[in-house]
Structure 1
Amino acid sequence: MSVVVEQYNPEWPQHFERIKSTLKLFLSEVDVLSIEHVGSTSVPGLAAKPIIDIDIIVTKENLDDAVSALVRHGEFTYLGELGIVDRHALRDPDQRPPRNIYVCVDGAFQTRNHLSVRDTLRSNPELRDEYGQIKLQLAALDLNIVDYIDAKSSIIQKILTKAGLLATEELAAIHAVNKKGHRQGAIKTNRLVLREFVMKDVAPFHALESIPEVVRYQTFEPRTLEQAKEEVVKIIQNSCVTPRAHFELAVVHEGNFIGRVGALLKRTDEHGEALNLPHANLWFSFIPESHGKGFATEAMRAFIPVLPSPNILEIECDPRNTGSWKMAERLGFKKVSLTEKAYECKGEWVDSLVYQKTVWVSADL
């Protein structure tokens, strides 16, 4: 999903006012300090992604009440802090127009960050135009949102330094948040794009994981739409945890979601002792229409180098799941164990087949 940046639209403040009116109804029983239009759409004359960013500013004591009110009255989806302390993201089910809603703690440096950027750009046309030009140039490069945010972190630092309202350590913290870290930009192969999950993936993820054939050898039944949404939220939340342990990317072919690849990285044993090498348990699932075309192998070859190395890669599966163990063999994994009746799954005892491969520097696949 490439970032789209548009020239300033004078309707954006009007959109904000309408959304604000609805938010005030949902929050009528909560002591809210202010509801602020932030982000680039709040700066007259600035090119921006056509997404209305809104900060609902509350005291720490009223944070939970504000979040609960939006979930209860507005059926918002709570996404958590997403790696940014005291800024809580929620997904508004009404995305006409698209919007980002945050409940922010008053006085927190991330709250001051949003307000400082907005106010500085409103009062400094030269800096506003420089920022807008950079945004348009980056959008022309066909970047996804992770790479886009990373690429404009330097100009954001320039704006914040000009504002002069944040301490040096706060500027450093904001710079670290804007750098992508373990979050992945678009990974492109000959036929595929691998990228981080977004909330728009709920429907295609449900379409995938609700197919009995796809989950035949999983410990869970076909997922409901609500379960799919909960899983996508967890994937998004886990992508922001540092150090990252849960890596999971959507796989896209010709603009369509066709599957997912993932890994859970273990750095300690069951006693909390550090492992000699981290252990990465891998998984993948793809829509049946994509089977037999090499998409899963192509995706896994691109995905594995994303994982921190050195590590021990592992694919564990029911031996009847020929797709999994044949994938392991194509990737150069070696069979290390076969345990009969290892665990009970969906009312039957199943065997466990384990393949492993050690990666020291970079994956040679």
Structure 2
Amino acid sequence: MSVVVEQYNPAWPEHFQAIKSELEGFLKDANVVSIEHVGSTSVPGLAAKPIIDVDIITARENVQEVVDALVSNGNFAYFGELGIVDRHALRDPNQSPPRNIYVCVEGAFQVRNHLGVRNTLREHPELRDEYGAVKLALAANRTNIVDYIEAKGEVIQKVLKAAGLLTDEELAAIRVANEKGERRGALKTERLTLREFIIADVPAYHALESIPEVVRYQTWGPKTNDQAAKDVVTIIQNSTVKPREHFELAVDCEEKFVGRVGAKIKMKDEEGKAVEPPHVDLWFSFLPEVHGKGLATEAMKAFVPTLGSPLRLEIECDPRNTGSCKMAERLGFTKISLTERVYECKGEWVDSLVYQKSV
């Protein structure tokens, strides 16, 4: 999913004012310091992703009160900090126009970061234009969001230094936060793009995991939208943990979400001793409409080498799931064991067929 950047739209401030009015209604009984239009759409003349970013600023002791008001009065979904301390993300069910809503702690450096960037870019047209040119060039190259954030890190540092609101330690923290770290940039194959999940993937993830055929051999039934949202949030949160042990990537074909691939790396046993080599459980899930086209195999062949080595890879299948069994064989895995009646699932006792491969 490539980043979309548009030339400045003078309607963006009007969109913010409408969103702010809605928020004020939901928060009429909550203690809020201010509701701020931040991000690139808040800077006149600046090219931006067409998404309105809103910071609801409140005292630390009132964060939960504000979050609860949005959830109760506006049916917002709460996603937590998502790896950024003192910035709590929520999803407004009204996404027309698209928006990002954050509840932020007053005085926290993330707030000073947002306000400093906004105000400095408003006051310095030369920095605004430099930043806009970087963003447009990245979008023209069909850059994904992880690479996009990292690639504009240098110009952001330049803007923040001009703002003069952050300490050297805080500037360094922002630099690190903007780096990919263990998050993956776009991994492209002949037909596919493998990328990190984002909150906007919730509807597509739900569309996949709510299909009875897709979850036929899983321990869960078709997922609700709330369950899908919680899963995507967990995936995003896991991507920020260091060292990273949980990898799950969205798979796009022609800019459309078609499935997901994942891995859980076990580095220590129950007693805390190192597992040598680390053990990796692998999984994959794709829309029925793309079955039989080799997309899942293409995705897994690209994904597995990114996990490193040495590793002991494992795919556990329900033997009735012949598609997964054939996939393991196509990937060069060896059948290790078949155990009967391992667990009960959806009223049936299920056998376990295990494939392994060392890399």
Percent identical across equivalent pairs? Answer: 70
Give the alignment of 1:173-252 within 5 angstroms. Answer: 173-252=173-252
Three-state SS of the structure 1 residue aligned to 2:6 is: coil
The 3 A distance-change label for structure 1 pair 241 and 72 is: farther
One-letter amino acid matched to 1:312: R
C-alpha contact (below 8 Å) 2:31/2:62 kept by paired residues: yes
The 3 A distance-change label for structure 1 pair 24 and 141 is: same
Three-state SS of the structure 2 residue aligned to 1:215 is: coil
One-letter amino acid matched to 2:50: P
Looking at structure 2, the residues matched to 336 and 186 of structure 1 have their Cα atoms a distance apart, in angstroms, of: 33
* Cα deviations by residue, 1:323-363 (Å, 9 ceiling, x for unpaired): 2222112112222222222222222222212112222xxxx
Looking at structure 1, the residues matched to 84 and 3 of structure 2 have their Cα atoms a distance apart, in angstroms, of: 21
Looking at structure 1, the residues matched to 23 and 69 of structure 2 have their Cα atoms a distance apart, in angstroms, of: 10
Partner of 1:317: 317
* CA shift for structure 1 position 83: 0.9
* Cα deviations by residue, 1:300-327 (Å, 9 ceiling, x for unpaired): 0111123244322111112222222221
* CA shift for structure 1 position 219: 0.8
Three-state SS of the structure 2 residue aligned to 1:301 is: helix
Looking at structure 1, the residues matched to 94 and 265 of structure 2 have their Cα atoms a distance apart, in angstroms, of: 36
Q: Does 1:17 align with 2:17?
A: yes
* Cα deviations by residue, 1:210-240 (Å, 9 ceiling, x for unpaired): 2222212111112233323332232233233
C-alpha contact (below 8 Å) 2:82/2:233 kept by paired residues: no
Q: Does 1:168 align with 2:168?
A: yes
Q: Which moved more, 1:204-213 or 1:143-152?
A: 204-213
Partner of 1:42: 42
Give the alignment of 1:253-292 within 5 angstroms. Answer: 253-292=253-292
Q: Which moved more, 1:310-319 or 1:221-230?
A: 221-230
Q: Which moved more, 1:151-160 or 1:307-316?
A: 307-316
* Cα deviations by residue, 1:150-205 (Å, 9 ceiling, x for unpaired): 11011111111222221122111111111122222222111112222233433332
Partner of 1:363: none
Looking at structure 2, the residues matched to 223 and 238 of structure 1 have their Cα atoms a distance apart, in angstroms, of: 20
Q: Does 1:338 align with 2:338?
A: yes
* Cα deviations by residue, 1:136-156 (Å, 9 ceiling, x for unpaired): 111111112111111101111
C-alpha contact (below 8 Å) 1:51/1:99 kept by paired residues: yes
Three-state SS of the structure 2 residue aligned to 1:127 is: helix
Looking at structure 2, the residues matched to 305 and 161 of structure 1 have their Cα atoms a distance apart, in angstroms, of: 39
C-alpha contact (below 8 Å) 1:82/1:241 kept by paired residues: no
Partner of 2:144: 144
Looking at structure 2, the residues matched to 44 and 306 of structure 1 have their Cα atoms a distance apart, in angstroms, of: 41
> With structure 1 as the length reference, what TM-score do the two structures score?
0.93
Q: Does 1:82 align with 2:106?
A: no
Q: Which moved more, 1:99-108 or 1:286-295?
A: 286-295
C-alpha contact (below 8 Å) 1:209/1:228 kept by paired residues: yes
Give the alignment of 1:112-151 within 5 angstroms. Answer: 112-151=112-151
| Count of residue correspondences | 359
Partner of 2:69: 69
Partner of 2:27: 27
Three-state SS of the structure 2 residue aligned to 1:155 is: helix
Q: Which moved more, 1:210-219 or 1:134-143?
A: 210-219
RMSD of Structure 2 on Structure 1 (CA): 1.7
Looking at structure 1, the residues matched to 29 and 220 of structure 2 have their Cα atoms a distance apart, in angstroms, of: 40
Partner of 2:293: 293
Looking at structure 2, the residues matched to 257 and 164 of structure 1 have their Cα atoms a distance apart, in angstroms, of: 41
Three-state SS of the structure 2 residue aligned to 1:335 is: strand
